[in-house]
Amino acid sequence: MTVQELGSIGEFVAAIATVATLAYLATQIRYARLAASDTSRQSRAEAVREMQLVSLNNEAYRKAWGKADTSAAPRMKALSELLGVSVDEAQLVWHGCCAWTYIHWAQYRSTKTASDRHELENLVREFYSLSPMDQVWETDPMLKAMVDPDFVDWVDEILTGVRTP
């Protein structure tokens, strides 16, 4: 074999290695972008939960928000009547249900494996069929409006299976 033939084989191997490296880098970039998206989504969900916790733990903030949000009064009154609690207690329940919803939404959007999805389905099936979560989920349009429609449909499909004998 001549030096020229060895050089041609080397060029061929180098070309294959370059293509393999580019494919590997493209895959890594894709996974890095997915990880960044998951991190961003998780950060948003955590920020919303933090705000919900402020509402849960600060009665003055809750009252000020209730006064300022004119659409909240009728919703919270209806929820308080449905649950048999005071309006302030209904706000506490609502904010708690919102915090749980955001936790589950972030998990739903970040699931990667079938076992992740199955675990979350079991949690949603059980937790969202308990009061007060089921009543807030079913009766308050604001809760469902705060997350994407795919998640709402997914939860409703799971609950339909629970509620159908």
Encode the chain (165 residues) as per-residue pLDDT tens digits.
788 887 888 888 888 989 888 888 888 888 787 777 777 767 777 777 787 777 778 888 888 887 888 888 898 899 999 999 998 899 889 988 988 898 888 888 887 788 888 999 999 999 999 999 999 999 988 889 989 899 999 999 999 986 554
pLDDT recorded at residue 154? 94
Handedness of CA 65, 70, 75, 77 (dihedral sign): positive
Q: Which of 95, 111, 109, 117 is nearest to 50 (CA)?
A: 95
Contacts of residue 104, defined as CB under 8 A and 6 or more positions apart, other chains included, come to 120, 123, 124, 151, 155
Rounded Cα gap, residues 113 and 130, in angstroms = 26
Residue corresponding to tokens 């308990």: 130
What was the pLDDT predicted at 41? 67
Instruction: Specify the pLDDT at position 165.
Output: 46
pLDDT at 84: 95
Angle CA 111–115–117, to nearest 5: 40
State the alpha helices, DSSP H only, in the chain.
3-57, 59-68, 72-83, 87-110, 114-127, 133-139, 141-145, 149-163
Name every residue whose Cβ is closer than 8 Å to that of residue 92 and which is 6 or more positions away in sequence. 56, 62
Structural contact between residues 151 and 105, judged by C-beta atoms closer than 8 angstroms: yes
